[in-house]
């Protein structure tokens, strides 16, 4: 699939539209999707210094959303309709969290992607998430 | 199932262990589970004044977790292993978000619960979430 | 929501369109959805005489599908796009399996429902499933 | 992770324990998991000659189960506790269905795996499923 937004266009979109953008970084646009990164700070941590579940959920959500936009462009109002997430291991303390995102489908009405989360420097999956987004009938560009 | 922690015990546990506790309130312990409430503020909102997906995820997660504790007591380190969530409608602007939580199973190793989220004053479901928690072999009390 | 197909219309649709229709029965159309029943026979059983996971999946899928049709009528080609299911307990041997189905949303593009499965004569949930269906742009009637 | 059961041991286990074994074939044991194959016949088909959702669910379930056994050996009574599945495209008519299974975690209590289903000869994903299995405290060997 063609690339509609490159790494810097995604990063600019993120900073313009997400209040928590400072936490995230678009590492790369890949043939399958994107790679995202979260630098956890105190707000993301649970007792025991591990990243909280909702923070991992948010990283996967932002990453899959941007992966879809990287192919279809800055479509207004695509919304998450469904998500499933498996929490597999504790993230390593003091490490960035990486999300490798792979697009599984971009249809007329629905787009589906998947994210595998790992701690920087480790290959073991910390979490796996898949999410579905509803694409509005007219692809209005923001 | 017997009640191990009542409303005020859950609220105290919440305030002692969750950094974002000020956002949440335990409304009631019910025969099936609990009712939770979130008073959204700016940090929870997305453009368009709706509550964000990760915020709804977090409300369901906290609510189902507390519902389980209301039956088995303050077990240390029960962790979420799996979650699925359907986002059904936009929450109403300016309203509290309610979560009606129902326990589906409390086994030796796993507990499962479900939350239906609604906007205060409306009966239509905004989101539905089910989550599984792993219960550690020894139920150490905090 | 108005009822578009009653119990006998759903049962007739089931028998006309599903090869395994003989296994299923529409017990009731309810204000929230429908109640379905499966009479398990040897083909549905796993070692230990319990109903297999795919059989429970199929019961929830048929039940939620018929619940949606009970409101929007016999729409051709609505397809399941996503499903999540929690297997909670072994079904009781030698008992029918009941599915209480509740519709959560019927939108223009997507419909979402949930099923709670129990063994006949027991109130404990054997499984919980939620499923999403994509509704084709033109609601062609079969 | 070490291999506890090779392709022919898994195939023999399948034929000994699954009534529908004739439909399935273990293609390969891979570094990440296994590759499974289903040769659909009339029983698996829905109107339009496509493989039914429950049949895809069953293929993913058997495949992930065997992938886990390929590492831990023929453990009795490991049961599916949770599954989520996205149906992405219609399978191609008249083609075998392949499942590439990847193990995500094998812990003491829980094992998690994922399957990507494709039609033979196509690279596009037809479905994606992730499933969790509870491993009994004593790993009794059958």
Q: Supply the pLDDT for residue D140.
A: 43
Q: Which residues of C fall within a CB distance of 8 Å from D62? A: none
> What is the residue extent of each domain of chain D?
7-134
Please give the Cα distance from D26 to A141 (Å, whole number): 47
CB contact under 8 A, A53 and B47: no
Q: Provide the whole-model pTM.
A: 0.93
Residue pLDDT, tens place only, B7-20: 999 999 999 888 77
Locate the DSSP E strands across C20-89.
24-29, 33-38, 45-46, 50-51, 79-87
Q: What is the mean pLDDT of chain C?
A: 89
Q: What is the pLDDT along chain D (142 residues), one digit of tens a residue?
A: 789 999 999 999 999 888 777 789 999 999 999 999 998 776 666 656 678 899 999 999 999 999 999 999 987 667 899 999 999 999 988 899 999 999 999 998 899 999 999 999 999 999 999 999 998 776 544 4
Please give the Cα distance from A104 to A128 (Å, whole number): 14
Confirm if A111 and A68 have CB atoms less than 8 A apart.
yes
Element (H, E) at B85: strand B79-87
**B130 contact partners, CB below 8 Å, separation of at least 6:** B83, B84, B85, B104, B112, B113, B114, B115, C84, C86, C128, C130
Residue pLDDT, tens place only, A22-70: 789 999 999 999 999 998 776 666 656 678 899 999 999 999 999 999 9
Q: Does the CB of D125 have a partner CB in chain C at under 8 Å? A: no
Terminal Cα distance for chain A, rounded: 21
CB contact under 8 A, A132 and D104: no
Q: Report residue B60: phi and psi, to 5°.
A: -65, -40
**Average pLDDT score over residue span C78-97:** 92
CB contact under 8 A, C132 and A84: no
Q: Supply the pLDDT for residue C48.
A: 60
Q: Supply the pLDDT for residue C140.
A: 43
Kindly state the tokens that stand for A41: 């700070």
* Interaxial angle between packed helices A53-72 and A7-17, expressed in degrees from 0 to 180 and rounded to the nearest 10: 130
Q: Supply the pLDDT for residue C51.
A: 85
D contact chains, 3+ CB pairs < 8 A: A, B, C
Q: Is the pLDDT of residue B25 over 90?
A: yes
What's the burial of C56, exposed, middle or buried (CB within 10 Å: 0-12/13-18/19+)? buried
Q: Predicted ipTM? A: 0.90
Q: Which residues of D fall within a CB distance of 8 Å from A105? A: 86, 88-89, 125
Q: Which residue's structure tokens are 């590439």?
A: D100
Q: Supply the pLDDT for residue B45.
A: 62
Tally: H helices and E strands in chain C: 2, 8
For domain D7-134, the question of CATH label 3.10.129.10 is answered with yes
Confirm if C109 and C44 have CB atoms less than 8 A apart.
no
Confirm if D113 and D102 have CB atoms less than 8 A apart.
yes
CB contact under 8 A, D112 and A128: yes
Residue pLDDT, tens place only, C41-55: 766 666 566 788 999
Kindly state the tokens that stand for B118: 């609604």
């Amino acid at each position: 699939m063609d690339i509609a937004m490159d790494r810097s266009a995604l990063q600019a979109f993120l900073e313009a539209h997400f209040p928590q953008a400072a936490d995230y970084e678009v590492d790369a646009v890949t043939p399958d999707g994107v790679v995202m990164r979260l630098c956890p700070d105190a707000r993301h941590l649970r007792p025991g210094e591990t990243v909280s579940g909702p923070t991992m959920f948010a990283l996967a959500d932002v990453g899959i959303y941007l992966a879809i936009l990287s192919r279809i462009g800055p479509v207004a109002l695509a919304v998450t309709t469904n998500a499933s997430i498996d929490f597999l291991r504790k993230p390593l303390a003091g490490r960035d969290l990486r999300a490798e995102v792979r697009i599984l489908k971009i249809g007329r009405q629905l787009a589906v992607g998947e994210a595998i989360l790992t701690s920087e420097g480790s290959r073991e999956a910390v979490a796996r998430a898949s999410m579905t987004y509803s694409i509005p009938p007219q692809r209005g560009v923001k």
